[in-house]
Structure 1
Amino acid sequence: MKSPYTGGEVVRQTNKEELEFRGETFTISYNNYKCIDTGKEFTNREIDELNMLLLHSAYRRKHNIPFPEEIKGMRVRYELSQTKMSEILGIRTQHISQL
């Protein structure tokens, strides 16, 4: 990757950062790039998506919300339909079908 400011070299950084999500503060390993020439920090779409995934994961862990893979595993293990699983979790069947 090249710097959008100078076209020069960049370094990828990971720092502990506090971010707010749904009125709560979470500390995540925030990722970004730093332009060697200017010292300016920036992100791209891929890094933004990673940071959001880390933030959402922290929220899920704190509130004991199962991850999509866990929901799929439970459905298979207990042979539950999407409808039954949505009733158990109290969410719409559409959300289960999107997993």
Structure 2
Amino acid sequence: PEGIAIDHMSRNMYWTDSILDRIEVSRLDGSQRRVLFDNDLINPRPIVADPANGYLYWADWNRDGPKIERSSMDGSDRTALVQDGLGLPNALTFDPQSRQLCWADA
């Protein structure tokens, strides 16, 4: 995995796989593993969870069209948040107090 995010409230673990170009989820004990997304991903890297608001954020290092996306933690409501003016978003963090998503470009 390239990135790992923990939802401490539901005890789920999410990760990005840049070899298989997908995002997966399982329980913290490894059970109930499933693929959340395996389409429209070129090189998914960082991932962060916002369990209080029920969102998952990740970045895709697609050199021809890098983007930062969000979905509900069950994989529904996937949407691109940032597509313009990105380099290669290499790190993400979410501040729950200000509800701001921050990233660093490589």
Larger radius of gyration: 1
TM bracket, shorter-chain basis: under 0.3
Q: Normalising by structure 2, what TM-score?
A: 0.23
